[in-house]
Amino acid sequence: MSRSARFLAALIVCACPSSAAADWLLTPFIGSSFAPETTLLIFEEGAGRALTLGGAAAFLSDGMLGLEAEVGHTAGFFEGSDPRGLVLSSRVTTLTGSLLLAVPLSITRESLRPYLVTGVGLLQARSKHAAGLFPIDQNFLAVDVGAGAIGMIGPRTGLRFDVRYIKAASGADGPFARPGLSRLSFWRGTAGVVLRY
């Protein structure tokens, strides 16, 4: 083992108290996507601002570190305000695994506990357009980064507020791609009920 690897291992051991505890946090959530950017062909104005439903399972220590698996589903993502209804159906689904960096419980106690989050996963985009023109049916490697806060209101329940930026990091551009734009990216804000185990 190299000297730098031994130093890093010792630093991690020293930073994590031996008596550290951890909780499982299950969080069903509701929210909205907003501020989309894409090179995919979208026919309707206002597309990308839609209701999101999902859930997260996190393993969060009373120190700084935690892990999270999350799924979010946004139906109607590519449907906007066009009364002609050029997009017949659409959805964007994300499945990500993330690292949480939270303010230690020794500082926040049981009050509002802020955190940062970043991770990778799958972003699945689907849409059907009128007359079958330019359908979207793609899977992307996704990256996400964001921040939020967890506030416990009882021994087993609490609330979570979360804002994330989600971006496709792979995949093909649309037929009329413009340089400098993301293949697909958007912001998402959510609020959920935390169940602690």
Percent of the chain clearing pLDDT 70 (strictly above): 80
Cα–Cα distance measured from residue 11 to residue 28, given in angstroms and rounded to the nearest whole number? 35
Q: Compute the mean pLDDT over every residue in the chain, rounded to the nearest whole number.
A: 85
pLDDT digits (tens, 9 = 90+) for 72-118: 999 999 887 776 677 888 999 999 999 999 999 999 987 899 999 99
Paired residues of 28 in beta bridges: 55
Q: What pTM was computed for the model? A: 0.82
Is pLDDT at 11 greater than 50 in this prediction?
A: no
Q: Which residue has the higher pLDDT, 188 or 43?
A: 188
**Residue by residue, what is the 3-state secondary structure of 102-164?**
ECCHHHHCCCCEEEEEEEEEEEEEEEEEHHHCCCEEEEEEEEEEEEEEEEECCCCEEEEEEEE
**Could you tell me which of 9, 163, 157, 1 has the C-alpha nearest to residue 72?**
163
Domain layout of the chain by residue ranges: 20-178+189-196
pLDDT at 13: 44
User: Residue 148 to residues 75, 115, 145, 184, 191: CA-CA distances in angstroms?
Assistant: 23, 5, 11, 23, 10
55-69, 82-96, 154-168: range with lowest mean pLDDT: 82-96
pLDDT at 6: 55
| Average pLDDT over every residue of 173-177 | 57
Is pLDDT at 124 greater than 70 in this prediction?
A: yes
Paired residues of 145 in beta bridges: 118, 165
> Phi and psi dihedrals of 117, rounded to 5?
-140, 140
Handedness of CA 149, 189, 53, 183 (dihedral sign): negative
| Average pLDDT over every residue of 2-13 | 48
Banded pLDDT at 156 (limits 50, 70, 90): very high
pLDDT at 177: 58
| Average pLDDT over every residue of 35-41 | 83
Task: Decide: residue 127, CB within 10 A, 0-12 exposed, 13-18 middle, 19+ buried.
Answer: buried
The topology under which CATH files domain 20-178+189-196 is Porin (2.40.160)
